[in-house]
Structure 1
Amino acid sequence: MGENKSFSGQPVLSQILDVIPSAIINAANRKHQSNRYYKRLPLRVHLVSLLYGVFSYCNGLRELCEGLLACEGKLSHLGLDKAPARST
C-alpha cells in the first residue's frame, strides 16, 4: 500500500479557503455591495473569521476574537494582516 502524498501540511481552514475562489467572493461583494459602508472589516476578513469560529466551536464574539488573537502569528497564511477587533 502506498502512502497518500497529497497532504500539504495546511490546516483545514486554509484548505477550505483555497477551495473558495476569490472570484466568487468578489462577485458576491459586487452583487450585494457588502464592502460599501465598512470601516475595518471587509468581506474576506469577515468570511475567514466566521469560518474560524465554526471550526473552533466558538460560542461568542469574545471567544472568536481571543482565538484569532492567539493565532495572530499564523493569520498571514489565511490572508489576514491582523485579527479583527471586538469593536468591529
Structure 2
Amino acid sequence: MGKSTHFSGQPLYCQVIKLLDKSTILRLSREYGGEHYVKRFDIWTHLVVMLYAVIMRFDSLREIMSSLQAESRKLCHLGIRLMRKHSINYKF
C-alpha cells in the first residue's frame, strides 16, 4: 500500500502553508506596493508568522517571539531565515 498524497498525518499549520502560493503572494505584494518600506521582514514571513500566531492562539508579541525562538531550527523550511536573538523592550 503506497503513501497517500492527501494531508493525513500532517500538522494543521503545514497543511495551511501548503495551500498558499508563495510566488503569487510576493508578486501581488510587490505589485501593489505592500513592501515599499520593507528591509528584511517581507510579506511572506509576516504571513507565516501571523498564521502561526493565530493557530497557536497567542495573545502577545512576547508569546510569538518566545515560541518562534524556541522553534528557530525548524523555521528554515518555511522560508523564515532571519529571527531576532532577543526582543526589543520599548519604554513609554
TM-score calculated relative to the size of structure 1: 0.76
Superposition RMSD in Å: 2.5
State the aligned residue count.
85
Structure 1 residue ranges, 4+ long, deviating more than 6 angstroms after superposition = none
Q: Provide the identity percentage.
A: 32
Residue 73 of structure 2 corresponds to 73
Equivalent runs, 1:1-88 vs 2, <5 Å? 5=4, 6-7=6-7, 9-83=9-83, 86-87=87-88
Task: Kindly provide the CA deviation profile for residues 11-64 of structure 1, in whole angstroms up to 9, marking residues without a partner as x.
Answer: 221221110112430243034311111122110010001001001111011111
Q: Return the letter of the residue paired with 2:40.
A: R
- Bigger proportion of residues as helix: 1
Q: 1:80 to 1:12 in 2, by over 3 A?
A: same
Q: Distance in 1 between matches of 2:40 and 2:68?
A: 16
Q: Which has the higher contact order (CA 8 A, sep 6+)?
A: 1
Q: Indicate the structure (1 or 2) with the bigger Cα radius of gyration.
A: 2
Say if 2:7 and 2:15, in contact at 8 Å, map to a contact too. Answer: no
Say if 1:48 and 1:78, in contact at 8 Å, map to a contact too. Answer: yes
TM-score calculated relative to the size of structure 2: 0.73
